[in-house]
Structure 1
């Protein structure tokens, strides 16, 4: 028996949903658009990166869960083949800001590898989404991204 791959909405729909979600967050001044994770559901955070070419701030809203002090997300780009721009930005500039509901964290970012990646990928499976089916739609392995806390810089350290 051949298992049917999961259905993915058209790309224009996914991109429109992202635009609406960011607008909801922005116009509500952060009151709507983010949520804490629960045992049966991932949360939503806003991640601020530095553009790899422009050096300007870039914002994206991503699914996440917490693993001890770390925040875990996936570089999936709506399950499209290309790597998401925010992930490419983080590869060039791994320091970022994660805005969680009621909390802001400065983080340094890396891809999980080996046993750690398998453990975190298994945790994503617990949310009930068919991530394995969706991942098969991509040519490359989907990165599991670990956002590790880093100390805030004082104003005098920032140039």
Structure 2
């Protein structure tokens, strides 16, 4: 079994989500310093990006390392927050200010985010689940609809 398959299998467990929440800041620093070449698990085997939003209260840049799926010329994100009851802060930031940037492999692209409606969510969710099947478990544990965003490149 590959490391990707093992991580995907373990991803749905509660303890993995707890570990992920506690190590995410360290993983973010490592990911950023290595320009996406490394994460806590070694070389990233799952697609990661750095999302930079504008803090809805502070107005300051806020970064999050997130898994993503590709959709045409854009990217798709899901606000799982590791299956916690509350939506992640980055998703509220995108609702307040949809202009953001994504950095993949050291290349930064300005984007505009849109919250997926029910039809688009149904279309995009299979791609997200293919990347990280545990999103289904996270949604069940969270007891809420996980926000799904499509990020389209913008000409800023």
Match of residue 138 from structure 2: 134
How many corresponding residue pairs?
Answer: 140
Whole-angstrom distance in 2 between the partners of 1:133 and 1:26: 28
1:53 to 57, 78, 93: 57
Which 5+ residue runs of structure 1 have no aligned equivalent?
A: 1-5, 35-40, 153-159
Whole-angstrom distance in 2 between the partners of 1:126 and 1:10: 18
Which 5+ residue runs of structure 2 have no aligned equivalent?
A: 1-11, 40-44
Q: What RMSD, in angstroms, separates the aligned Cα atoms of the two structures?
A: 2.1
- Give the structure-2-normalised TM-score: 0.80
1:19 to 7, 22, 25: 25
Match of residue 3 from structure 1: none
Please say which structure displays the higher CA radius of gyration: 1
Which residues in structure 2 correspond to 1:9-158 (within 5 Å)? 9=15, 13-28=19-34, 30=35, 32-33=37-38, 42-127=46-131, 129-152=133-156
The answer to which structure, 1 or 2, has the higher relative contact order (CA under 8 A, 6+ apart) is 2
